[in-house]
């Protein structure tokens, strides 16, 4: 019962964006995909969700996602894209309800629970377009949560696939979202998140997949992947783990629970 990518190749135009990528994620764990810009993180996520056609094979709980109808996939995994633009004046409730309709339900109480989980109580009647970027991002996360609210269903573990879920958020709400993802995993679901923040990754990830130039440069537990040598090589600059520079002010989150 895992999400497994086997020998994934993706070409976009003349570019070979993913080159033989194999990686796995497991229920009960928060797996984070990191890497420099252009390394293939989002392309890999789109391949894992089935949004992007690729060579190779992606299986979800042992089933080939290419063979699963969209409605079946929607009941087993929720996807938060990097950008989710809406052109029409939806209310927050209407946006979150999209997640419920993907699983064939209309339970307004669950909408309120999902909004409370992302720290947006009282926002149900607000217009989505009137919210800040960070609030819109959390509404979209509530939509995805509503879709796969129970981490384990009749068909096994469910999955959250999150592409840069904290990119527009302040520090407090970054921690809220990471704790939420961690809790979902601890309750038996699977979570895969694309992240840029290596500090949050170190705090919350159970497993890290480091991408570089369309390949997996390293994969394993955070202490195995987040090392001076591996990170410096992947990012092309000198990086030190757990060493604060002698000058300047540095502010880092210090709680993962």
- Tokens linked to 78: 């929720």
Domain boundaries, the chain: 3-235
**Predicted pLDDT of residue 256:** 56
Grade residue 257 by pLDDT with cuts at 50, 70 and 90. Answer: low
Q: Is the Cβ–Cβ distance between 134 and 142 less than 8 Å?
A: no
Q: pLDDT exceeding 70 applies to what percent of the chain?
A: 98
Over the stretch 80-107, which tens digit does the pLDDT of each residue have? Answer: 998 877 878 899 999 999 998 877 666 7
pTM over 0.75: yes
Q: 3-235 has which fold? A: Rossmann fold (3.40.50)
Over the stretch 26-83, which tens digit does the pLDDT of each residue have? Answer: 999 999 999 999 999 999 999 999 998 899 999 999 999 999 999 899 999 999 998 8
**Predicted pLDDT of residue 33:** 98
Over the stretch 211-256, which tens digit does the pLDDT of each residue have? Answer: 999 999 999 999 999 999 999 999 999 999 987 777 777 787 776 5
**Which residues 6+ apart lie within 8 Å of 146 measured at CB?**
96, 97, 99, 100, 110, 111, 114
């Amino acid at each position: 019962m895992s999400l497994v990518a086997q020998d994934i190749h993706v070409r976009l135009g003349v570019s070979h964006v993913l080159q033989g990528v194999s990686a796995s994620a497991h229920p009960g764990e928060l797996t984070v995909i990191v890497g420099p810009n252009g390394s293939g993180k989002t392309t890999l996520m789109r391949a894992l969700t089935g949004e992007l056609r690729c060579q190779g094979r992606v299986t979800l709980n042992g089933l080939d996602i290419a063979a699963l109808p969209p409605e079946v996939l929607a009941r087993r995994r929720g996807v938060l894209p990097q950008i989710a633009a809406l052109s029409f004046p939806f209310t927050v409730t209407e946006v979150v309800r999209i997640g419920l309709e993907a699983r064939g339900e209309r339970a307004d109480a669950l909408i309120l629970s999902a909004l409370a989980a992302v720290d947006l109580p009282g926002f149900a009647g607000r217009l989505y377009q009137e919210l800040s970027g960070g609030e819109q991002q959390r509404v979209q996360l509530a939509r995805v949560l509503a879709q796969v609210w129970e981490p384990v269903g009749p068909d096994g573990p469910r999955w959250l696939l999150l592409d840069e879920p904290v990119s527009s958020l302040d520090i407090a709400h970054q921690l809220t979202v990471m704790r939420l993802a961690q809790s979902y995993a601890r309750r038996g679901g699977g979570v895969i998140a694309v992240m840029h923040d290596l500090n949050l990754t170190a705090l919350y990830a159970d497993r890290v997949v480091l991408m570089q130039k369309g390949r997996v440069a390293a994969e394993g537990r955070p202490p195995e992947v987040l090392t001076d040598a591996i990170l410096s090589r992947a990012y092309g600059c000198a990086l030190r783990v757990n060493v604060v520079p002698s000058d300047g002010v540095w502010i880092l989150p210090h709680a993962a629970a």
